[in-house]
Amino acid sequence: MEKTRINKYLAAIGIGSRRKIDDLIEQGEIFVNGERALPGIVVNEEDKIIVSGKEISAKAEKKVYYMLNKPQKVVCAVSDEREKTVVQLINDNRRIFPVGRLDMDTEGLLILTNDGDLYNKIIHPRAEVYKTYFVRCRGNLNSEKIEALKNGVELDDGITLPAIVKVFKSEEKFSELEISIREGRNRQIRRMIDKVGSRVLYLRRNSIGKLKLDRELKIGEYRELTKEELNYLYSL
C-alpha cells in the first residue's frame, strides 16, 4: 500500500491544511506508531496516527465514493470559514474529501471519497491521468495559438506538458474547445488560455481518464460511483 507525506495524507482526510499539519508536527502534537512524527515522514492507512491525543483512522470507516457535478461558487475543500464547500453538498456524515481540485468558478466532474489510497492513485504525478475540460474562451484562437497549447506554454511555474486540444468552434467573439492535460497545477487551464492572449469565459471538467461526468447529474447533484467506475479508477 503506497505511502505519502504525512501533511498531504492528513490534509486529504480533512484534519487540516498542510501548513497546519506541519505546525502540529513542530509542536509535537502528532505521533506515528508511538513515535513523535518528524517532518516529511510518509504514512498510509496501516499506520497508527495520533493527532493532539486523538487517534486518526481513515481505515475504520466504510469507504464511499461519490461523483459530483460541481457548481460554480463552491470551493474544493473540506472546510472553509467564508465559502461553501463541495463536502457540504454531499449528504454523508463521514469525513470525506475531494480528490484534486477545481477552482471556484469551474464546474464539472469531481470525485469525493474517504479513501486515501484512491486519492493518491489519481493525484500522484506518476499516474499521468488525463483530465479533459470543455473550454469557452474570448476571441478567435488561430492555429498558432492552438499549437502553442498543444506543445506547452511557459507559465510562471514552468512549461506545461503537451496537451490534447480539439477545436469545436473558433469565431471572432469566442472559441470553444476541449483540452486534455495530465498535470494538476493551480488554475492551469485558465493560465494556459491567458498565456495565448485569450480569457476563459466558461470551464467544465468532463472526464478523468475514461471516467466521464454523468450528464444526467444536474449541476450540484451527485451519486455514488458504480463498481465498474471504481474498478477502472483503481486500474490506473
The C-alpha cell 474562451 sits at: 137
Alpha helix ranges (H) inside 63-174: 116-123, 143-151
Active site residue 194: no
- DSSP state letter for 130: -
**CA separation for the pair 224, 63 (Å, rounded):** 11
CB contact at 8 A, 51 and 15: yes
Q: Which of 47, 103, 194, 214 is catalytic?
A: 103
DSSP strands (E only) in 45-199: 49-51, 54-56, 65-70, 97-98, 107-113, 131-138, 154-155, 158-159, 164-170, 174-181
Annotated active-site positions, please? 103
